[in-house]
Amino acid sequence: MPTPSSKKLNWVTTLFFILTPMVGVSGTLYVILTHSLHWLTLVLALFYIFAAGMSITAGYHRLFSHLTYKGLWPIRLFYILFGAAAFEGSVLEWCTDHRNHHRYTDQEKDPYSVKKGLWHAHIGWLLYLDESKRNYANVTDLAKDPLIAWQHKYYNYIAGFMCFILPALIAASWGDAVGGFFIAGALRVSLNHHFTFCINSVCHYIGKKTYANLSARDNWIMSLFTYGEGFHNFHHQFAADYRNGIRWFHFDPSKWLIWCLSKLHLTSHLKKFDHELVIQHRLKMEEQLVKIGNHALRTQTQTLVNSLLSKLNVIYLQLVKLRQEHALLKADKKTLLKNQYRIYSKACKDKISLCKKEFNLVLNDLIYTRKRAISL
């Protein structure tokens, strides 16, 4: 494995990461000390930090990298423009790295594996990245989108304009072009960088392994800074789900944005995994942790737990089959008489309801038995 000392430093990227926060902080202090700061500039910076940040999370990440939903061209264009304002690379560059991260998580080919160190996962990998060696074979589907192809071709011009020039021009309308450049531009993009980088580092280092035994962790505190991306263990296990925080109280503004846009018919085909399947993975993961943490579990109790897990899986498969049958019934609605459809549909829904009740009963038995096993 090549070490940083054996690799060539990417001076353009390194200087950008050093100079941008220096310019942002010093420029912001200058604006404040000269009493020229306008409140609208702060509003602009706040808008920009969310527009750019969520263009990365809801756009680059959940739409383009994982195809968890579909977006109309105005939404894709917004993500492409304000994603460029985050200065994290073009859609193709960002997505090829991220798809490799998921394919080779915690392995040598993982571009920002935390196994190589927290610093490497956070920013170090970018400082030694040889961009000429990127292989775009895993993003050929994205390259067919003319908007993405356009952004990739003219990325430096688009990013420079969206990140620094546009906020300065907007702020100039109330006489604070300098504040727009320094605060909504340089300082803001530095914050956007490290919010995103924390997903690759902190969210692979601190938190709970809720659904899968990977380095990725669920960290609700980080979700506050990463627009909902803190529930990272869930994401790695269910990458095709448009949500990261699956509970109603989970802070996931990217999920809320996607859902709200779907109600306006600007996004569609939102993908999410069945609640029952998610529960199964959580229980299996907790069972692994129980086995690791308590070697004195009694064989009889452990056998019962395994039996209940198997039963839960059988019921879940029955539920999936019933849901498929109901979906087919809805698809054939036009070929059935109205009364026939109502009868068949009610019978199918009743079966689904009974199956869900049975699932919950077995689930409760499993939770009780598992708690008893832990206490042994």
Mark whether 164 and 284 lie in a shared domain. no
- pLDDT confidence of residue 320: 78
Which residue, among 185, 213, 219, has the nearest Cα to 199 in the 3D structure? Answer: 219
Distance CA 196, CA 155 (A): 19
Mark whether 243 and 347 lie in a shared domain. no
Average pLDDT over residues 310-315: 72
Distance CA 65, CA 67 (A): 6
Average pLDDT for the chain: 87
Distance CA 71, CA 337 (A): 36
Neighbours of 34 (CB within 10 A): 10
Mark whether 226 and 346 lie in a shared domain. no
Mark whether 77 and 170 lie in a shared domain. yes
Mark whether 113 and 35 lie in a shared domain. yes
Mark whether 235 and 309 lie in a shared domain. no
- pLDDT confidence of residue 30: 95
What is the number of structural domains in the chain? 2
Q: Which amino acid is at 376?
A: L
Buried b (16+ CB within 10 A) or exposed e, 306-316: eebbeebeebb
Is the pLDDT reported for residue 297 higher than 50?
no
Mark whether 236 and 289 lie in a shared domain. no
pLDDT grade for 235, boundaries at 50, 70 and 90: very high
Write out pLDDT tens, residues 12-56.
999 999 999 999 999 999 999 998 899 999 999 999 999 999 999
Domain span including residue 194: 4-268
Mark whether 173 and 29 lie in a shared domain. yes
| DSSP tally for the chain: helices H, then strands E | 18, 2
- pLDDT confidence of residue 293: 47
Task: Return the SS3 of 70.
Answer: strand
Report if pTM > 0.85. Answer: no
Q: Considering 268, 294, 319, which residue would you say is the last residue of a domain?
A: 268
pLDDT grade for 336, boundaries at 50, 70 and 90: low
Name residues whose C-beta falls within 8 Å of residue 150's C-beta, 6 or more positions apart in sequence.
none
Average pLDDT over residues 361-371: 61
Distance CA 267, CA 264 (A): 8
pLDDT grade for 280, boundaries at 50, 70 and 90: confident
Mark whether 297 and 231 lie in a shared domain. no
Mark whether 260 and 318 lie in a shared domain. no
Which residue, among 244, 264, 251, has the nearest Cα to 58 in the 3D structure? Answer: 244
Of 248 and 160, the structure prediction assigns the larger pLDDT to 160
Name residues whose C-beta falls within 8 Å of residue 58's C-beta, 6 or more positions apart in sequence.
79, 227, 254, 257, 258
Mark whether 125 and 158 lie in a shared domain. yes
Q: Considering 236, 268, 300, which residue would you say is the last residue of a domain?
A: 268
- pLDDT confidence of residue 4: 53
Q: Considering 227, 249, 268, which residue would you say is the last residue of a domain?
A: 268
Mark whether 89 and 176 lie in a shared domain. yes
Is the pLDDT reported for residue 337 higher than 70?
no
Average pLDDT over residues 120-138: 95
- Provide the sign of the torsion angle of the four alpha carbons 149, 11, 195, 87, taken in this order: negative
